[in-house]
Amino acid sequence: MNKKIDMTTGTLGDKIIKYTLPLALTGILQQLFNAADVAVVGRFSGKEAMAAVGSNAPVIGLLVNLFVGISLGSNVIIARAIGQGDREMAAKTVHTSLVVALIGGLLMTLIGELAAPQVVEMLKVPDEVRDLSVKYLRIYLLGMPVILLYNFESAIFRSCGKTGVPLMALVISGILNVLLNLLFVIGFDMDVDGVAIATVIANLVSSMILFAALIRTDDVVKVDVRKIKVDRKVLIRILKIGVPAGLQGMVFSFANIIIQSAVNSLGTVVIAASSAAYNLEIFAYYIMNSFNQTCTTFVGQNYGAGKNDRCRKTLKICLIQNLLCTGIACSLILLLVEPLLRLFNSDPDVIANGRIRLEFIFFAYLFSFVQETLTGYLRGYGMSFIPALISVICICGIRLTWIYTVFRAHPSFTTIMTVYPISLGATALVILIVTLIVKPSARYKIG
């Protein structure tokens, strides 16, 4: 699990899948543990508590996605440095990244705590859910520093080919999260506050496990506590790549907040159904998105080593493997859709609406896997602004326009879901055209 993958020599197909599988499992397990939050409150605290947890997902995603995107800047810079054999640059990037994660997390906690009631109000959460929603959001936000630290630490390990280390940390913290969920909700008769506290504790544990692993490793990403500081030049390079990716994720999440507010306007049953379906569809998404991250890291290292042919070959292999793996995952979920939705809530209306969401989303994934993989490919070259701009215009622009025009005229759950394949199809087409046109230089120099 701790074995490093050599990305710049030898065959690519087996190494790509070997790198991607732990990455996909990390995302799947992370969502499985998040789904446990929803399932526990849905089963033991009622659909109002379940809706409160689900209604906050876009807001949490907006905050986390900003810094997850910035962490991609660290991933690319470290991967390039490894490809070029520049140990000093890799070390500076690692130590700078840790400071960015902690400071960014503290800022997000402070801003989020002050704005939580206003955010929930903006989401148009029903009155019977509002207080629970604010309580969950405020407790969850207390854990932002360790949540972001875990994500940056994971990016550091991914950049050097060690995707198994974050997976190991997540397994340990995730099991703890489930046990604490059951203890707080069933044993102590808590509701959303119980699952929120459990999540914060679990993220603290996972971030500390990875921090200890970075200190003990003998690899190029080894952490020396005495050297944890910000290198200004490295920070600028990280932000140049990471900020467009982070803003893309943030704007994307903002569009989803608008969509969530439209969902919330349809009532508690639809909110609960959408939340349950989301916790199933995200399993397939993490498989798809893992190839995005794989493509970024493999292209980054090979680009740093001046091996453009391997960069292009990486893209082709990632597209084929992504289509196969994501297709299998979507098919399995649709095959078992009713019993899977019943794990969250047995209300027939919740199940019916959950099925509608999954059918629309998985159709949209036919376009999304192209968009995700090509985005990872361009970011590996350091072209972060281009996919960010395309996503903002195509995905966010289309979705916002749709909600404020078509949905307003025809307010139904089906109307909301229709925008997903439309927006993702347009994005995939544009980013494919751009990828065919843009020609990166033969080699990128970091220093």
Q: How confident is the model at residue 429, as a pLDDT?
A: 95
SS3 state of residue 445 = coil
Longest CA pairwise span in the chain (Å): 61
Report residue 322's pLDDT band, with 50, 70 and 90 as the boundaries: very high
Q: For residue 181, which of 168, 167, 191 has the smallest C-alpha distance?
A: 191
Distance from C-alpha of 240 to C-alpha of 403, rounded to nearest angstrom: 32
- Check if the beta carbon of residue 110 is closer than 8 Å to that of residue 277: no
- Check if the beta carbon of residue 237 is closer than 8 Å to that of residue 184: no
The percentage of the chain sitting over the pLDDT mark of 90, rounded to a whole number, equals 25
Q: How confident is the model at residue 361, as a pLDDT?
A: 94
pLDDT at 46 over 70: no
Q: How confident is the model at residue 206, as a pLDDT?
A: 92
Q: Higher pLDDT residue, 50 or 238?
A: 238
* Region of residue 85 (left: phi > 0; alpha: psi -120 to 50; beta: else): left
Q: Which residues contact 299 (CB under 8 A, 6 or more apart)?
A: 311, 314, 315, 376, 377, 379, 380, 381
Average pLDDT for the chain: 84
pLDDT at 293 over 90: no
Q: Higher pLDDT residue, 315 or 190?
A: 315
Cα–Cα distance list, 442 to 75, 305, 381 (Å): 20, 10, 10
Question: 41-50, 96-105, 260-269, 292-301: which has the minimum mean pLDDT?
Answer: 41-50
Q: Higher pLDDT residue, 230 or 442?
A: 230
Q: How confident is the model at residue 428, as a pLDDT?
A: 93
Q: How confident is the model at residue 58, as a pLDDT?
A: 67
Question: In the block, which residue shows the tokens 């969530």?
Answer: 260
Residues in the chain: 447
Q: How confident is the model at residue 444, as a pLDDT?
A: 44
Q: How confident is the model at residue 447, as a pLDDT?
A: 43
pLDDT at 98 over 80: yes
Q: How confident is the model at residue 441, as a pLDDT?
A: 56
Taking the CB of residue 429, how many other CB atoms lie within 10 A of it?
15
Taking the CB of residue 299, how many other CB atoms lie within 10 A of it?
31
Q: What is the pLDDT of residues 138-194, one digit of tens each?
A: 888 888 899 889 988 988 888 887 878 888 898 898 889 888 888 887 888 777 788
Q: How confident is the model at residue 431, as a pLDDT?
A: 92
Q: What is the pLDDT of residues 346-384, one digit of tens each?
A: 888 889 999 999 999 999 999 999 998 999 899 888 888
Question: In the block, which residue shows the tokens 């997540």?
Answer: 170
Distance from C-alpha of 225 to C-alpha of 228, rounded to nearest angstrom: 5
Question: 66-80, 164-178, 191-205, 224-238: which has the minimum mean pLDDT?
Answer: 66-80
Report residue 445's pLDDT band, with 50, 70 and 90 as the boundaries: very low
Q: Which residues contact 82 (CB under 8 A, 6 or more apart)?
A: 90, 159, 160, 220, 301, 304
Distance from C-alpha of 210 to C-alpha of 42, rounded to nearest angstrom: 32
Torsion, Cα of 217, 71, 208, 287 (10° steps): -90
Q: What is the mean pLDDT of residues 429-443?
A: 79
The percentage of the chain sitting over the pLDDT mark of 70, rounded to a whole number, equals 94
Predicted TM-score (pTM) of the model is 0.76
Question: 14-18, 41-45, 282-286, 423-427: which has the minimum mean pLDDT?
Answer: 41-45
